[in-house]
Chain A
Amino acid sequence: MQETRIALRNMGKIIPGRIDDYIAAGGYEALKKARLTDRMELLELLERSGRLRGRGGAAFNTGMKWSSAFAVDSKEKYIICNADEGEPGTYKDRVIIESDPHTVIEGMLIGAYAIGADTGYIYCRGEYAKSIELLNKAIAQVEEAGLGGGVKLSVAAGAGSYVCGEETALLESLEGKRGEPRLKPPYPTTSGFRGKPTVVNNVETFATVPCIVEKGAAWFRSLGADSYPGTKVFSLSGDVVNKTCFELPTDVTLRQVVEDCGGGVPDGKKLKAIQVGGSSCAFLLPEQLDTAMDFDSMRAVDAALGSGAILVIDDSHNMVDIMVAITSFFAHESCGKCTPCREGTYHMAQVTQKIADGQGTGKDLELLKRFVEYLPANCFCPLGQSAAIALASAIKLFPQDFAVRLQKEDE
């Protein structure tokens, strides 16, 4: 299956982070074109005709987000790149930055022009030392080449916190505080970094922007699904032959990604489940392999596209053991502010471990089901609200995996 590369268009073709290579490959032409275009036209290109939806997981219309920030009358505005890729199984942003940091910067500078921002930050997770280095070097090169346009860019290194990938927590962290999410509304586009209009977008989103500006809306809309045009970079992991990233149009099916590109399950094992979107999302069954990989089609089968992470699981695993990994992840990453997440994820992890160890009873399973009902409605932010989604899915689709670990008698 052939890839269609937009965000990854320069991967392997240029030396990463070398601005001359990037320019020779057509880089920064889109930026120049954008700066000569009327701002409203540019926004309309992304919002209505291009319909670029965010690639971080929430899939919000990028142009609409930029328009909201543009509409606020303020001298101080910010453009921020969310490179705090923390969703387990996702490594596409790292691959994008490590292969072509300049495309991310170009996208940010186009965004800065569109909304009227003169300061930008890339919040990159601290574990990605190589990415941080590449981005810092690229920013320096842009300054030297005089392409900055008066926009000051800098890189902030995260320090090990998944919740900082949530945009309001990111803003808190960037402001030099604990990364605890804020109440929404107000939204960052009206009151974001230091209370000013701010646009926060994912790495992949920014990496895609220059191509849309260059080649136009019609071209972009011709790729992928109608409601979610363009391509998506999928990160494959788990029991699959080719553990690597693939960029494909969004109207491909899960089967095409996992089998054609991924090479299917190795060693003659059988496919049991696929988790698309990372630890905060539901599982899909082999019979759902023909689902299209766009945002809305995934929602229709009670799953989610999310970050585009694809974890392939073969039948040698008991789902309860995988749930131990997932529940303990959320317990560790909970920011601790709200009761349901702070205490709920903690107990959820304890009880799941108990069941995995064969010490659990029917009552413990009932308790997990209570959490599944309780967390989505009561938690402060998306982390808590989605912490039990994978658990809900596992209990629903693989009840026998849980049953086999439960003690026979109830206490």
Chain B
Amino acid sequence: MDNSSKVYVGVNARFEPDGKLMPISIAWEDGSEYEIDRVMNVCRAASLKAGGVGIRYTVRIGNTETYLFLEENKWFVERR
């Protein structure tokens, strides 16, 4: 698929003892790594912008809030 608003990213994540999966940091396509300061919300949602469906993590990185999606076994973000 050649839509450019969907960016697959590498993610460091941790399984909590209760089975929850929590992302810790995101590896952007240029190699830079961003620490996730806080996961604000987790829900199932569609991304109309990027074109995908999965579990949506609302995360805060520094001062910006962004969505991080887990679609089956891949993570993606919406390009701004």
* A, B co-complexed: no
